[in-house]
Chains A and B, each alone.
Chain A
Amino acid sequence: MTGPEITGGFPILSTLIFFPALGALFIIFFLKKEWDVLIRWVALGVASVEFLLSLYLPFTFDANDPGLQWVEKTIWIKRFGISYYLGVDGISLLLVLLTTLITVICVLASWTDIKEKLKGYMALFLLTETFSLGVFMAMDMFLFYIFWEAVLIPMVFIIGIWGGQRKLYSAIKFFIFTFVGSLFMLLGVLALYYYHGKLTGTYTFDSVVLSQSIIAPAIQFWIFVAFFLGFAVKVPMFPFHTWLPDAHTDAPTAGSIVLAAVLLKLGTYGFIRFSLPLLPNASIQLGPFMAGISIFAIIYGALCTIAQKDIKKLIAYSSVSHMGFVMLGIFVFNVEGLKGGVLQMVNHGISTGALFLLVGMIYERAHTRMIGDYTGLFKQLPVYGVFFLIIALSSMGMPLTNGFIGELFVLLGAFKANIFYAIPVVIGVLLGAVYLLWLFQRIFLGNYYYGGKGPLLDLGFREIIVALPLIILVFWIGIFPKPFLMAMDASLNNLIKQVETNYRKGSDASANVTARLQAPSAERAGQ
C-alpha cells in the first residue's frame, strides 16, 4: 500500500464524517446545559451545514462512473492491513444524502419535543450522523465495523435516556440484538480476512481488494451466515425483528426517525455492499431462501401491522414489511430489483421517517399514541391530514409517489427472477394499503373524537417546514425519478456484473479452491 491518496482533491468524505462529530464535541465542551436555545441552533447549524456540504456530492458526482468516487485512502494500521479507506458510489450516494437530510429533520423535530438534557441529546444525534455516514462511506471492512458498532452507542442512549415508558427494556433489547449480530459479522469479517490472506498472501481489510478474491462456495456460505446475522438483525429481517417495535415505540420521535430512516438501511446496505460482491456464490445459492424470508416478512409484517393499536408500533411493524421489499429487491439479483431495493431504502427512509415525524407531532400535542384516541381529526387538522395522507400513500406505493417507483422496480425484479414471487408480493402491497388506509380512516375520518390531553392544533410553521422536504421528495421521486435512478444505475450495473463474474469464477474455481485449501503449507512457507 502506498501513501494517502485522495481523488477529488479535497477530503470531502472525511469532512462530512467528522464535521458532525466536531459539532458534537463543540456542543459538549463549549456550551452550557442551560443554553437550550443556543444548543438547538448550533445543532441545527451543524446539521444544516453538513447537509449543504453533502450536496456537494451530487453536483460533482459522475453518474457514468460505476466505481468509487471522492476516494480517500491511507494506511491506518499497517500491520493488520487496515486502512482508512472512504469512497462513495451510486449505491451509497443517496443514502449519504438521506442521512444528512434526516439529521436536519431530526434536530428540527426535537425542537420543542426534548426539554431535558438537551445538550447530550443533540450531541448524540450528531454522533449518530457521523457514524452512519462512516458506515456508508467506509470501504475498509474494519473501518466499516468500527463505524457499524459505534453507531449503536448513541442510539442506545437516545432510546435509554429520552425514551418512553419501557425505555430501558427497549434500549437493552436493541443493544443486545444488534451487538450479538455484529459480533457474528465481525467473525465473518475476520474469516474473510484470514481466508484472503491465506489465499493471496496479502492480509487486508480492503473490501475492494477482498472482492477480487475467489472464495470457495463452502467458505462463502459460512461467512455469509455470519454477515447475515449481523445485517439481518439491523434490517431487521424476520425473525430478528422484535427489537424494532419496542425500540421504535420507546424512542423519542427523532430517535424513531433516524432509526427508521438511517439505521435500518445499514443492514440492507451491508448486504449490497459486502454480501453480494464478496460472497456471490453463497448469495446466489441462498438467494431463494433470502427472498423467501423477505416475502414472508412482507406479509407477516403487514399482518402484524394490521393488528396494532399503537400508531408508532403500527409504523414500526410496517417497517418490517417494507424492509422485506428492499431485501427481496436485493436478492433477486437483477438490476431492476437492486434499483428497486436501493430506491426503496431511500423511500422507506423518507416515508417512514416522515410517518414517525408526523406521529411525533401529534404525540407532542396529545401524549397518546393509541389509534382509538383519535377519530375524525381531518376537519380539525386539515394540513396535518393531507400530509399524513400523502405519506401514507407514499408508503403504500400509490403511483405518483416515490413508493410506487420503488415497488415497481422491486416487482419488476422479482417478476424477472421468479414469477411466483410476484403474487405474495402483491398481497403484501395490498395489505400495506389495508393497514395504512385503515389507520388513516380511523384517525382522520368519521365523527370527531379526541381522547388526548393537550389542545389539538394544526401544524405550525416550523412543523410544516420540517415535513415539507420529505413531501417534496415523495413527489419528486414519484414523478421524476430519473436523477435518482441514474445516480445508482452505473454502480448497480457494475455490481451485478461483478456478482455474476465472481459467481462464475467462484463456481469454476470451487474445485481448485478446495484443492488449494487442502495444501496450504507451501503458501505458508512462502509467507
Chain B
Amino acid sequence: MIQLVWLIPLLPLIGAIINGVAGSRMGKKAVGLVACLSMAAAFLISVSIFFSLIALPEEARSIEVGVFNWITSGSFQIDISFLVDPLSTLMILVVTGVGFLIHVYSAGYMHHDKSYWRYFSYLNLFVFFMLMLVLGSNYLVMFLGWEGVGLCSYLLIGFWYEKKSASDAGKKAFVVNRIGDFGFILGLFLLFWTLSSHGIHSLSYKTVFASVHELDPKVVTAIAALLFVGAIGKSAQFPLYVWLPDAMEGPTPVSALIHAATMVTAGVYMVARNNALYSMAPEVGQVVASIGIFTALFAASIGLVQDDIKKVLAYSTVSQLGYMFAAVGLGAYVAGVFHLMTHAFFKGLLFLGSGSVIHAMSGEQDMKKMGGLHRHLKTTSITFTIGALAIAGIPPLSGFWSKDEILWEAFSKGHLVIWAVGLLTAFMTAFYMFRQVFLTFSGECRADEHTKHHIHESPAIMTVPLMILAFLAIVGGVVGIPFFEGGSKLHHFLSPVLSHGSHAAAAVEGAGEAVAEAHSSLEFILMGVSVGAGVLGIFLAGLMYFPPLKSFAPSFWTAENMAGTFSPLHKLLYNKYYVDEIYDAVIVNPIKRLCGWCLSFDLGVIDGIVNSAAWITRFISWVSHKFDIYVVDGLVNSMATLVNFNSSIWRRMQTGYLQNYAFIFVLGVLIVLVRVLLG
C-alpha cells in the first residue's frame, strides 16, 4: 500500500487537469464530483497508508518511494520521490481529510460562480502541491510543493480577478512568499554544498539528517536560519505576515484550506521536519520561538479590533501560527505539530463557518452589520462557537490540549517570557474570538432589510462539513492528551521522526520529560491558569458584546468607550500598526523610485554613451570632411592658382578631335623622353 503513495498527489493533479482542460464544458455537477472524488480517494489512500504504517514496527516506519529522477547535473541528483513516515502521514491525513471536507463545502459555497470549474481546478492543484510539499523525500521536492502552493494561493486569492484588491492581494502574497523562498533556496544551496564538501551529494532528508552532525554547527545555524526565512514567508510570521490578511480576498473556503489549515502551516512542518538541523542550532531555535511568540501577540492584538469577520480570523491564524513556531522553536516539535493539526480542524471550521455567515449575508463581511444570526443559522452558529471555544483553549476541546502543551513546554523549558506572552495571547484570542461570536450571532440583526430578508441557513453540503469539523475540533485533541497510559499517543507516534536530531537534543528531550513527570502537579496548575485566561477573555468579551451580559458590565467597559479612552492605541491596532503603510514607505515606494532612476540611468547614461559615440563619430566625420575640402584639397587648388595654369590651352584642347589629343599627348611625352634619353 505504501508503495502507492504517489497516487495521493497524483489523484488531485488528475482532477485539476480534468477540470482545467474540460471543466468549462462539463457542467457544475461533474466538476464538483471530479474534484471531490479525487480528494476522497486521496484521503482513503492516506488512511490506508496510515494503517499500513502503524502496522509496521516503529523503527521501520520510514519508507522512501522513488518515482523518477528529476534533475541531474553532475553530482547534483534529485529524484521525485516520497517519504512515508509518521510526520508525513499525519500531514497527508490532515491535508486530504480537511481538504476533502473543504472541497465538499466549496461545491455548495461556489455554486453560483461562473468559474466553478476553474475554482476546483485550482483547488485540486493546490492539494497536489501541498501533498508534494509534505510527502517529498528531499528538499527540492519540498521546494517544488512549497512554490507550487504559493502559485495556487496566488491564483485562488486572485480568483475574482476583476476586483483589483483581489489581484493585488494575490500578487502581494506571491511576492512576499518569494522573499521567504529566497532565503529557503539559499539555505538549500548552503546545505547542498556543505554536504558536498563532505562527499555527500544528496538533498534527501535521510542522508542529510544522518550526516548533519558531521557539519560545522555554525554552518548548520546559517542553514537553519535561512530555511526559517522561508518559513517566515510561507507561514506568515512577522515581518512577512502582511500578505495573509490581504489573502482573505479569496473565496472563503480557500481561506479555510490554504490560509488556515494547510499551506500556511508548511513552515511549521518544515521546521519540524528539519528538527535534526534545528536541534543543532539552538540559537536559531531561540529566534524561531521569539519571532513566533511575538507574532502571536502582535497579530492577536490587531485581531482585537478588526471588524471584518475574515480579517479577524486571518490575524488569528497569524497569531496561532506564531504559537506553533514558538513551540517548534523551543524544540517542542510534537507540540507544534499537534497544534498544527488541531488548528487545521478548528480554524478550518471557523473559516467555513464565517463563509456560511457571509453566504447567508449575501457577501457582507463587516461584523458591525451582522448580529442575531443565531436565530437563522443554528448549525453554523453552534459549530462556529465550538470552533471558538476550541481556539480559546477551553477544555476538553482540541485546542486546549495543543495550546496547553505549548505553554507547558515553554514553561517547563524555562522560557517564562514566552509562556507569559503565550498566556496573554491566549487571553486575547479568547477575547477576540468571542467578540466575533457575540457580534455575529447574538443580539439584534444590524443588517439592512434587503439582506435580512435573504438570510438563510446554508445547504447540507456546507453544513455537514461544518459538523464534521466541529466534531474533530472537539475530539481532535484526544491523540495528544498526555494523561493517558503511555503518555500522548501523538508524541509516541511522531517520536521516531521528531527526536531524530542529535544526541544532545534527545538528551534535552529526555530531561524535559523527566521534568514533566516531576512537575505533573505544576502542569495542572498551569492548565488552570491558561483555562482561566481563556475564560476571562470570553467573559470580558461577553461583558462588552453579549447583550444579556452587557447590562452587568461597568460603564466604562463598552466598545465605544474603550475605543475613545484608548483612542491612539485603538487607532494603532485598527490600522494594524500601519505596517502596510510602513512597507509602502520604506520598501515598495523606494523600489519603485529606484526603478525610475534605473530607467533614467539606462536612457540617459548608458544609452547616452552609445548615442554620443554615434554623434561623436559623425562630428569627427564632419571635421574630416571639412579638412579634406579646405585643407587637403585647398592646398591643391591654391597651388593651381599659384602656378596659374593657362586655361586657354585647355580650352583649345577641349574643342579638338580625340585623335589630336592623343597625338599631341604622346608626342609631348615622346619629346620629353627623347630629350631625357639623349641627355
Tell me, yes or no, whether B518 is within 8 Å of chain A by CB: no
Chain A residue nearest to B657 in the complex (CB): A120
Tell me, yes or no, whether B4 is within 8 Å of chain A by CB: no
A150 near B621 with CB under 8 A, answer no
Specify which of B621, B632, B669 lies most central, judged by the most chain A CB atoms within 10 Å of its CB.
B621
Contacts of A510 in B (CB 8 A): none
A434 near B617 with CB under 8 A, answer yes
Contacts of A183 in B (CB 8 A): 672
A307 near B658 with CB under 8 A, answer no
A304 near B673 with CB under 8 A, answer no
A306 near B650 with CB under 8 A, answer no
Of the candidates A124, A176, A306, which one forms a contact with B621 in the assembled complex, judged by CB atoms under 8 Å apart? A306
Contacts of A123 in B (CB 8 A): 658
Q: Chain A interface: which of B19-27, B208-216, B659-667?
A: B659-667
Chain A positions 224-246 with a Cβ under 8 Å from a chain B Cβ: 238-239, 241-243
Q: Chain A interface: which of B307-315, B438-446, B622-630?
A: B622-630
B197 to chain A minimum Cβ distance, whole angstroms, is: 44
B632 near A242 with CB under 8 A, answer yes
Tell me, yes or no, whether B514 is within 8 Å of chain A by CB: no
Chain A positions 415-447 with a Cβ under 8 Å from a chain B Cβ: 431, 434
B622 near A124 with CB under 8 A, answer no
Tell me, yes or no, whether A149 is within 8 Å of chain B by CB: yes
Docked complex Cα distance between A503 and B640 (Å): 39
Instruction: Known A123-B658, A149-B665, A307-B625; judge A431-B673 contact (CB<8 A).
Output: no
Contacts of A153 in B (CB 8 A): 661-662, 665
Chain A residue nearest to B633 in the complex (CB): A242
Of the candidates B620, B650, B654, B676, which one forms a contact with A303 in the assembled complex, judged by CB atoms under 8 Å apart? B620
B637 to chain A minimum Cβ distance, whole angstroms, is: 8
Contacts of A242 in B (CB 8 A): 628, 632-633, 636
Q: B616-656 toward A: CB 8 Å interface, digit per residue (1/0)?
A: 01101110110010001100100010000100001000100
Tell me, yes or no, whether A273 is within 8 Å of chain B by CB: no
Instruction: Known A176-B640, A434-B617; judge A150-B622 contact (CB<8 A).
Output: no
B644 to chain A minimum Cβ distance, whole angstroms, is: 13
Specify which of A120, A238, A242 lies most central, judged by the most chain B CB atoms within 10 Å of its CB.
A242
B624 to chain A minimum Cβ distance, whole angstroms, is: 4
Chain A positions 129-183 with a Cβ under 8 Å from a chain B Cβ: 146, 149-150, 152-154, 157, 160, 168, 172-173, 176-177, 183
Tell me, yes or no, whether A449 is within 8 Å of chain B by CB: no
Instruction: Classify the interface of chain A: helix, strand, loop or mixed.
Output: helix
Tell me, yes or no, whether A85 is within 8 Å of chain B by CB: no
B661 to chain A minimum Cβ distance, whole angstroms, is: 6
A443 to chain B minimum Cβ distance, whole angstroms, is: 17
A285 to chain B minimum Cβ distance, whole angstroms, is: 26
B624 near A239 with CB under 8 A, answer no
Chain A residue nearest to B631 in the complex (CB): A239
Contacts of B650 in A (CB 8 A): 168, 172
Chain A residue nearest to B677 in the complex (CB): A80
Q: B250-287 toward A: CB 8 Å interface, digit per residue (1/0)?
A: 00000000000000000000000000000000000000
Specify which of A124, A190, A238, A300 lies most central, judged by the most chain B CB atoms within 10 Å of its CB.
A300
Contacts of A43 in B (CB 8 A): none
Contacts of B658 in A (CB 8 A): 28, 120, 123-124, 154, 157
B624 near A300 with CB under 8 A, answer yes
A101 to chain B minimum Cβ distance, whole angstroms, is: 25
A160 near B654 with CB under 8 A, answer yes
- The number of chain B residues with a CB under 8 A from chain A is 26
Chain A residue nearest to B647 in the complex (CB): A172
B618 near A306 with CB under 8 A, answer yes
B621 near A304 with CB under 8 A, answer yes
Tell me, yes or no, whether A308 is within 8 Å of chain B by CB: yes
Chain A residue nearest to B640 in the complex (CB): A176
Docked complex Cα distance between A123 and B658 (Å): 10
Contacts of A238 in B (CB 8 A): 632
A307 near B624 with CB under 8 A, answer yes
B167 to chain A minimum Cβ distance, whole angstroms, is: 41
A196 to chain B minimum Cβ distance, whole angstroms, is: 14
A372 to chain B minimum Cβ distance, whole angstroms, is: 15
B621 near A173 with CB under 8 A, answer no
Of the candidates B624, B640, B669, B676, which one forms a contact with A304 in the assembled complex, judged by CB atoms under 8 Å apart? B624
B661 near A306 with CB under 8 A, answer no
Tell me, yes or no, whether A327 is within 8 Å of chain B by CB: no
Chain B residue nearest to A306 in the complex (CB): B621
Instruction: Known A123-B658, A157-B661, A431-B617; judge A308-B669 contact (CB<8 A).
Output: no
Tell me, yes or no, whether A186 is within 8 Å of chain B by CB: yes
B281 to chain A minimum Cβ distance, whole angstroms, is: 57
A304 near B625 with CB under 8 A, answer yes
Contacts of A431 in B (CB 8 A): 617
Of the candidates A28, A172, A186, A434, which one forms a contact with B673 in the assembled complex, judged by CB atoms under 8 Å apart? A186
Contacts of B672 in A (CB 8 A): 183, 186
Contacts of A243 in B (CB 8 A): 636
Docked complex Cα distance between A124 and B654 (Å): 15
A213 to chain B minimum Cβ distance, whole angstroms, is: 19
Q: B79-123 toward A: CB 8 Å interface, digit per residue (1/0)?
A: 000000000000000000000000000000000000000000000
Specify which of B628, B640, B650, B676 lies most central, judged by the most chain A CB atoms within 10 Å of its CB.
B628
A214 to chain B minimum Cβ distance, whole angstroms, is: 24
Docked complex Cα distance between A305 and B633 (Å): 15
Contacts of B666 in A (CB 8 A): 146, 149-150
A221 to chain B minimum Cβ distance, whole angstroms, is: 21
Contacts of B665 in A (CB 8 A): 149-150, 152-153
A303 near B624 with CB under 8 A, answer yes
Contacts of B618 in A (CB 8 A): 306-307
Chain A residue nearest to B674 in the complex (CB): A80
A149 near B669 with CB under 8 A, answer yes
A247 to chain B minimum Cβ distance, whole angstroms, is: 12
Docked complex Cα distance between A285 and B661 (Å): 40
A190 to chain B minimum Cβ distance, whole angstroms, is: 6
Chain B positions 290-320 with a Cβ under 8 Å from a chain A Cβ: none
Contacts of A28 in B (CB 8 A): 658-659
Docked complex Cα distance between A177 and B665 (Å): 16
B531 to chain A minimum Cβ distance, whole angstroms, is: 83
Contacts of A80 in B (CB 8 A): 677
Contacts of B625 in A (CB 8 A): 303-304, 307-308
Docked complex Cα distance between A160 and B651 (Å): 11
A318 to chain B minimum Cβ distance, whole angstroms, is: 12
Q: A470-514 toward B: CB 8 Å interface, digit per residue (1/0)?
A: 000000000000000000000000000000000000000000000
B662 near A150 with CB under 8 A, answer yes
B676 to chain A minimum Cβ distance, whole angstroms, is: 6
Specify which of B658, B659, B665 lies most central, judged by the most chain A CB atoms within 10 Å of its CB.
B658
Chain B residue nearest to A308 in the complex (CB): B625
Contacts of B661 in A (CB 8 A): 153, 157
Docked complex Cα distance between A304 and B618 (Å): 9
A195 to chain B minimum Cβ distance, whole angstroms, is: 14
A438 to chain B minimum Cβ distance, whole angstroms, is: 9
Q: Could you give 26 example pairs across A and B, Cβ below 8 Å?
A: A120-B658, A146-B669, A149-B665, A149-B666, A149-B669, A153-B661, A153-B662, A153-B665, A157-B658, A172-B645, A172-B650, A186-B672, A186-B673, A186-B676, A239-B632, A241-B632, A242-B632, A242-B633, A242-B636, A303-B625, A304-B624, A307-B618, A307-B622, A308-B625, A431-B617, A434-B617
Contacts A150-B665, A157-B658 given; 13 further ones with Cβ under 8 A? A28-B659, A123-B658, A146-B669, A153-B665, A173-B640, A186-B676, A242-B633, A242-B636, A303-B625, A304-B621, A304-B624, A305-B621, A308-B625
List 7 A-B pairs, minimum CB-CB distance, nearest first.
A307-B625, A306-B621, A242-B633, A303-B624, A307-B621, A303-B621, A307-B622
Which residues of B does A touch, CB under 8 Å?
Answer: 617-618, 620-622, 624-625, 628, 632-633, 636, 640, 645, 650, 654, 658-659, 661-662, 665-666, 669, 672-673, 676-677
Which residues of A does B touch, CB under 8 Å?
Answer: 28, 80, 120, 123-124, 146, 149-150, 152-154, 157, 160, 168, 172-173, 176-177, 183, 186, 190, 238-239, 241-243, 300, 303-308, 431, 434
